[in-house]
Amino acid sequence: MNIIFETIKHIAFEIDNAIKNEDLGYSESENSSGEDQLKLDVQSDLIIEKAFASVPIVKNLVSEEKEGVLTLHNTGKYTICYDPLDGSSLVDVNLSVGSIFGIYEGELIGQNLVASVYVVYGPRIELVIAQKGKKPMLSRATGHTFHEISEITMENKGKLNAPGGTQQHWCDYHKTLIDDLFAEGYRLRYSGGMVPDLHQIMLKGGGIFSYPGTADKPQGKLRQLFEVIPFAFMYEQAGGEAINHKGMRLMELVPSHPHDTSPCFFGSRYEIAAMKKAYGIDA
Ligand code: AFP
């Protein structure tokens, strides 16, 4: 597994370099979700594919930017599902973005995720690794080296509220949840980049990030394999919780297609309990 983490560190510097120096325009293609691809999305995807091509333990790659599964090494053990540059539409306004990696062993279902990693490209490059039975570990880059900073532990209750999805299409009980949290003193923190938004909530102790099902997107927007399950694992390992609109742990998701999405709620215990109450889910 260490070889995978080391490869991701190498990838992080290459993608950071591309973000800082390459063309920010659109490519001529769309990804499998029908979204226009930026040249940076395509380039980041290629950087990752090239890097893992020389790591025999990696059997398959599944990318947010590609349809289907790419087999690299038939004798490999792990499938890496990744979003090469999440939030890439924020690069042109110079906000933080990220890469997310879910490492699965066997069938691509939540319970087979064995580790997850994300990278935040912000004023500094930070990387968080989560493994079973351990608190997520935060590392920060200085020069071309990552240094471990600290384990991440979430508090029981936080102060931040990151509500995703178009408000116009929220259902009444979701609106009530969000309004009640603000009425309780929660502060709005939502950049439109899942990686920095979820990172901020974890590092500041807690809060809630939600991307619900809405009238226009009943299954939400965020992809199960590349975004939802890897972050659900992070939050659970940090002492938080991650559930869907029915109260099911996101780690129990069984995607039927690599690009399936799911409504999702990530938070500390207090805010997830508040969400369950607002949604009428038995505790
Ligand atoms: P892009 O990769 O298209 O910028 O989308 C980012 C993202 O998948 C995720 O990082 C955000 O949390 C979410 O979309 C934001 O979506 P909304 O713009 O609907 O709030």
For residue range 154-189, list pLDDT tens digits in order.
999 999 999 999 999 999 999 999 999 999 999 999
> Which pTM value belongs to this model?
0.94
Give φ, ψ of 233 to 5 degrees.
-60, -45
Q: Which of the listed residues 38, 44, 86, 118 should we mutate to test ligand 1's pocket, taking the one with most ligand atoms within 8 A of CB? A: 86
Q: Where are the alpha helices (DSSP H) in 65-204?
A: 172-183, 194-203
The residue type of 184 is: E
Residue nearest to atom 12 of ligand 1 (CA): 194
pLDDT at 130: 98
Q: How many angstroms separate the CA atoms of 25 and 31, rounded? A: 15
pLDDT at 37: 77
pLDDT band, very low/low/confident/very high, at 32 (cuts 50, 70, 90): low
Ligand 1 midpoint to CA 57 (Å): 31
Q: What does the pLDDT look like over 243-257, one tens digit per residue?
A: 999 999 999 999 999
Ligand 1 midpoint to CA 127 (Å): 20
Ligand 1 midpoint to CA 87 (Å): 5
pLDDT at 38: 76
Q: What does pLDDT average to over the chain?
A: 95
Residue 68 C-beta-side C-alpha neighbours within 13 Å: 3
Residue nearest to atom 16 of ligand 1 (CA): 192
Position 25 pLDDT exceeds 80: no
Ligand 1 midpoint to CA 156 (Å): 27
Mean pLDDT of 95-113: 98
Q: 273 or 30: whose pLDDT is higher?
A: 273
Mean pLDDT of 217-231: 97
Position 33 pLDDT exceeds 70: no
Residues with CB under 6 A from ligand 1: 35, 86-90, 164, 192-194, 221-222
Ligand 1 midpoint to CA 193 (Å): 6
Closest-lying ligand 1 atom to the alpha carbon of residue 197 = 12
User: Do 39 and 26 touch, CB atoms closer than 8 A?
Assistant: yes
Position 149 pLDDT exceeds 70: yes
Q: What does the pLDDT look like over 253-276, one tens digit per residue?
A: 999 999 999 999 999 999 999 999
Strand pairing of 125-131 and 264-267? Answer: unpaired
The residue type of 196 is: P
Ligand 1 midpoint to CA 264 (Å): 13
Residue nearest to atom 19 of ligand 1 (CA): 165
Mean pLDDT of 206-213: 97
Closest-lying ligand 1 atom to the alpha carbon of residue 89 = 4
Ligand 1 midpoint to CA 89 (Å): 8
